[in-house]
A and B are shown apart, each in its own frame.
Chain A
């Protein structure tokens, strides 16, 4: 009986989490398509070229990177999956972006969440970003072409 209650609870939380995602996913994907068709996306990619050249990743991977860092890993991954489907991304860029996003995503939510325990939020945010840059930089130099 206990088990059934736990499973039903899990199912409920899972479903409500999926609905929460839907509220963001649809406008996000639609927004990206609109920006692409208005040719704004190319300009955005160029704007972020210092970032993509620093990490030596394909310029199309800077968008999923920024979306993941701001909104969260699930959204970054969603955009990333589409870029992979469109065939623009090489495997190496994918791994480097995954490393960065795994360490550093949803920076607003994941930082303010620690206010109640009295953590220094600026240090938390700063150290996490620095760690993600350092480790993905190392990864980008260590990982050669993957086929």
Chain B
């Protein structure tokens, strides 16, 4: 049955979760924003340009994928709007980004629930790449 205890429990659990997420999000935002401002992501993405042919994407897409992986999908879209993409390329990059994005922030959450964050992050990058490559062949 419902009682005032229901309300109390709901609110205290809400608070508990809020505190957990706040503790994660503030440091993550600081790290991610510094990373973005440092220009390091551009440098890293240059290394991934050759891999773009496997996905059927232009070389510039590498920066969008890296910034999406490190920051979030919105940041990646900011880069993508300035690149000419065919419908097929747009669909492929959307799928790769939808599987592998915001890895720093989301992986910290994964760690918080007690699962190995490196395993999950690695799995996301790997499966995003494999799914993208398969789609490049069949679409």
Interface residues of chain A, those whose CB is within 8 Å of chain B, are 2-3, 6-7, 9-11, 13-15, 17-18, 21-22, 25-26, 28-34, 37-38, 73-74, 77-82, 84, 91, 94-95, 98-99, 102-104, 110-111, 113-114, 116-121, 123-124, 127-128, 131, 135
Pair A123/B112 contact, Cβ less than 8 Å: no
The answer, yes or no, to whether B93 is at the interface (CB within 8 Å) is: yes
Pair B2/A127 contact, Cβ less than 8 Å: no
Collect the chain A residues with CB atoms within 8 Å of residue B73's CB.
Answer: 110, 113-114
Number of interface residues of B (CB under 8 A): 55
- Mark contacts of B89-133 with chain A using CB atoms, 8 A cut-off: 1 yes-contact digit, 0 otherwise: 011011101110100001001101111000010011001000100
Collect the chain A residues with CB atoms within 8 Å of residue B137's CB.
Answer: none
In the assembled complex, 7 residue pairs joining A and B whose CB atoms fall closer than 8 Å, in A order, are: A2-B37, A77-B109, A77-B110, A116-B81, A117-B94, A120-B87, A127-B131
Pair A10/B33 contact, Cβ less than 8 Å: yes
Interface residues of chain B, those whose CB is within 8 Å of chain A, are 1-3, 6-7, 9-11, 13-14, 16-18, 20-22, 25-26, 28-30, 32-34, 37, 73-74, 77, 80-81, 85, 87, 90-91, 93-95, 97-99, 101, 106, 109-110, 112-115, 120, 123-124, 127, 131, 135, 139
